[in-house]
Structure 1
Amino acid sequence: MTPVRQELPAGSSGKARKPAKDPIKLGRAAASAAKKRSARGKGQGATSGTKVAQVRLQPDEVVNLEMVVRQLNLASTSEALREGLRLLVREAAEDQAAEEIRAYYKGEQAPRPAGVAPATEAELQAADDAQW
């Protein structure tokens, strides 16, 4: 069978085209590119390792966030939200550590460091009554 000559699409310069790449290599390249795109995930920015996260805030939360940005002289609301996330991560780690300590001692009182006396009832009550 004789090959049929096809016309170039409108707007083509008429230059000779490069021959098509090896279909196997082309398939691998396309698969690799798709894998990279899917690894980035939905909502990720162009910068590797970052992700855009949307948050819906109530009006009073926006006012509080803006006040915190000004008060702490932060560069942006994103920086304020990242700082809040760091605090939440630290709090979660402290909670996890406390759970592990309670599990280790199985409900018994954990030993105090040498030289530390147990708190008296009055001291415990004063701590409970204290306000920040």
Structure 2
Amino acid sequence: MVPKTEKKSRASGATPRRRTPTAASTSQARQQQGGSGATSVAQVRLRPDELADLQQVMQTLKLHSLSDALREGLRLLSREATEVAASQEIRDFYQGAQAPTPSGVLPATADELAAADETEW
């Protein structure tokens, strides 16, 4: 293990390692997983409570690694961002006016809207 004060880059004078056939095939497999080329490494700093929550989620969803859990989180964030963008596009199209309801569908009452707002998923 490299001490924290020592850099892990080649710029620090470390000699580059030769890639073994196993390392090369592992690297190729990892690149193919994403379907869009090479992967990237990202770091995240978590508070102890966030890490505990993440570990509980991993156990509940049977996710086998932190990477799997974080990828799933990013997938959900991406989906939510797409939905937010679509709803903004609809608001822009109708210029702030209420979107029409399909024929045969009655608009929701104030009570129905309030009940929906209080629903927890």
Q: CA deviation at 1:67?
A: 0.7
1:60 aligns with 2:46: no
Aligned residues: 87
Find the aligned partners of 1:78 and 1:56 in 2 and give their Cα distance: 14
Find the aligned partners of 1:97 and 1:90 in 2 and give their Cα distance: 11
Q: TM-score, normalised by structure 2?
A: 0.66
Find the aligned partners of 1:54 and 1:129 in 2 and give their Cα distance: 36
User: 5 Å matches for 1:61-80?
Assistant: 61-80=50-69
Find the aligned partners of 2:117 and 2:91 in 1 and give their Cα distance: 21
Show structure 2 runs of 5+ residues with no match. Answer: 1-26, 32-36
User: 5 Å matches for 1:1-132?
Assistant: 47=31, 48-132=37-121
Q: CA deviation at 1:127?
A: 1.8
Runs of 4+ in structure 1 displaced over 3 angstroms? none
Q: CA deviation at 1:114?
A: 2.2
Q: CA deviation at 1:83?
A: 0.3
How high is the sequence identity, in percent, across the aligned residues? Answer: 57
Q: CA RMSD in A?
A: 1.4
Q: TM-score, normalised by structure 1?
A: 0.61
Larger Rg: 1
- Describe the superposition over 1:68-107 as per-residue Cα deviations: whole angstroms up to 9, x where unpaired: 1111111211101000000000000000001111111111
Show structure 1 runs of 5+ residues with no match. Answer: 1-45
Q: CA deviation at 1:115?
A: 1.8
Single out whichever of 83-92 and 48-57 deviates more from structure 2.
48-57
